[in-house]
Chain A
Amino acid sequence: VQLVQPGAEVKKPGESLKISCEGPADTFGTYWIAWVRQRPGKGLEWMGIIHPSDSDTRYSPSFQGQVTISVDKAISTAYLQLNTLKASDTAIYYCARSTFFGVIADHNWGQGTLVTVSS
């Protein structure tokens, strides 16, 4: 499985960003797509998951209301929307093909999008 993300984005504080995660069309609707954040030098944070078949979305409490996860099944692409960016949003954002229970097998991760928020 190959999930394709943009490699890097540079934004200014206050701007918005929508990160894409494109997967293989034939299996895109069969697994949940998870988003995971990793700030520089810090640990992994589970942001939420979405099922492409019906857009059922589950956010982690820390990220509820702070980000928007969506999917366009027609183009096999999931999205992570970040609004009103702050310096603290600087991080690598991974998408991954996951089970509902948090199991992400090897080769099911996107390469990660490094988001830098700086004036």
Chain B
Amino acid sequence: QSALTQPPSASGSPGQSVTISCTGTSSDVGRYDYVSWYRQYPGKAPNLIIYQVTERPSGVPDRFSGSKSGDTASLTVSGLQPDDEADYYCVSHTGTTNVFGPGTKVTVL
């Protein structure tokens, strides 16, 4: 059972934006700037899209952005494209280990 919470689903039309929240506690998300976001397509390994709350790995388009306020981190996907339809997971450091959120299924309408 995840210690982080994410909405189970989110959706938007092509070109729109969608924001996914990842809520933890003052012991994980609120304490550490070590929140990452992963995208996973069915049957594939996850792909890193954001690390350290706001950083994008090279090759990840700037349509993806991350932020944090208090105990909640957020991932925003702007300019939705059909291949953004996937599952998105946050990960937070907890001091001794890391924990995934339960995942959010993003649907592009």
Q: In the complex, which residues of chain B have a beta carbon less than 8 angstroms from the beta carbon of A59? A: 97
Q: Which of B45, B87, B100 contacts A46 (CB 8 A)?
A: B100
The chain B residue sitting closest to A105, CB to CB, is: B48
Known: A102-B92, A102-B98. A112 touches B45 (CB 8 A): yes
B91 close to chain A: CB less than 8 A: yes
Known: A44-B103, A46-B91, A101-B34. A58 touches B45 (CB 8 A): no
On whether the beta carbons of B46 and A109 are closer than 8 Å, the reply is yes
A65–B99 CA distance with the chains assembled, in angstroms: 17
On whether the beta carbons of B47 and A45 are closer than 8 Å, the reply is no
Q: In the complex, which residues of chain B have a beta carbon less than 8 angstroms from the beta carbon of A62? A: 1
A62–B100 CA distance with the chains assembled, in angstroms: 12
A94–B103 CA distance with the chains assembled, in angstroms: 17
Count of B interface residues, CB-CB < 8 Å:
28
Nearest chain A CB to B66 CB, angstrom units: 13
A60 close to chain B: CB less than 8 A: yes
A74–B2 CA distance with the chains assembled, in angstroms: 35
Q: Which of B97, B99, B101, B102 contacts A49 (CB 8 A)?
A: B97
Nearest chain B CB to A4 CB, angstrom units: 13
On whether the beta carbons of A101 and B98 are closer than 8 Å, the reply is yes
A103–B3 CA distance with the chains assembled, in angstroms: 18
A48–B46 CA distance with the chains assembled, in angstroms: 17
Q: In the complex, which residues of chain A have a beta carbon less than 8 angstroms from the beta carbon of B45? A: 94, 96, 109, 111-112
On whether the beta carbons of B48 and A60 are closer than 8 Å, the reply is no
Q: In the complex, which residues of chain A have a beta carbon less than 8 angstroms from the beta carbon of B99? A: 46, 60
Kindly identify, within residues 51 to 109 of chain B, every residue whose CB is under 8 Å from any CB belonging to chain A. Answer: 51-52, 57, 59, 87, 89, 91-93, 96-103
A104 close to chain B: CB less than 8 A: yes
Q: In the complex, which residues of chain A have a beta carbon less than 8 angstroms from the beta carbon of B87? A: 43
On whether the beta carbons of A44 and B97 are closer than 8 Å, the reply is no
On whether the beta carbons of A103 and B100 are closer than 8 Å, the reply is no
| Sample of 5 A–B contacts (CB below 8 Å) | A43-B103, A44-B40, A58-B96, A60-B99, A102-B93
